[in-house]
Amino acid sequence: MNIIYNTARKDLPSKQLKELFVSAGWSDGLETPEMLKNYNKPFINSTIVISAWENDCLVDVVRVLSDKMFRSIIYDLVVLPEYQNMGIGKELVKMCVEHYPDSEWLVQTTREISAYYEKMGFKINEDVFLTIPCKYFS
């Protein structure tokens, strides 16, 4: 396995992103043409995007929104199932935190996945996060 990490590229191929999200169970694959056309837009507009590649295949990606000082939030850490449990996702999170080591780091996740992040030093807090759902997922 020869994984190459890319910290410079944000304009990831929409088709590979969609395939990654579908294979990880994060998408049902029924996106509208507008969503497919703009699949990489959240990555392009993020503060940090780190991707992991084997040859020309996108195997893992993470994106971060940050003010670069006080708060940084990890979104969309997604790993192809056949590459899970190999430490690639953990490496991406480590690389993210290294960008702004003094920032408070938050992660948007579910209770079922929270243990994964707790192993890397994240703590569950009792803050309440309120949301207005995205029109594409409501």
Separation of alpha carbons 36 and 120, rounded Å: 33
Instruction: Say whether pLDDT at 24 is over 70.
Output: yes
Q: What is the pLDDT of residue 138?
A: 60
Integer angstrom CA distances of residue 16 from 11, 127, 136: 11, 35, 19
pLDDT in tens, 91-115: 999 999 999 999 999 998 888 889 9
Q: What is the pLDDT of residue 134?
A: 76
Q: Is the pTM of this model over 0.75?
A: yes
Separation of alpha carbons 4 and 41, rounded Å: 22
Q: What is the pLDDT of residue 122?
A: 93
Separation of alpha carbons 42 and 87, rounded Å: 24
Task: Tell me what percent of the residues of the chain surpass a pLDDT of 90.
Answer: 70
Neighbours of 66 (CB within 10 A): 19
Domains (range + CATH), the chain = 3-118 (3.40.630.30)
Of the candidates 42, 57, 66, the one whose C-alpha atom is nearest the C-alpha of residue 2 is 57
List the structure tokens of 136: 């594409």
Q: What is the pLDDT of residue 137?
A: 66
Q: Which residues of 43-59 are buried (b: 16+ CB within 10 A; e: fewer)?
A: beebbbbbbbbeeeebb
Instruction: Say whether pLDDT at 62 is over 70.
Output: yes
Q: What is the pLDDT of residue 79?
A: 95
Residue 120 makes CB contacts below 8 A (sequence gap 6+) with 90, 93, 94
Q: Which residues of 74-84 are buried (b: 16+ CB within 10 A; e: fewer)?
A: bbbbbbbeebe
Q: What is the pLDDT of residue 127?
A: 80
Instruction: Say whether pLDDT at 27 is over 90.
Output: no
Q: What is the pLDDT of residue 100?
A: 96
Task: Tell me what percent of the residues of the chain surpass a pLDDT of 70.
Answer: 99
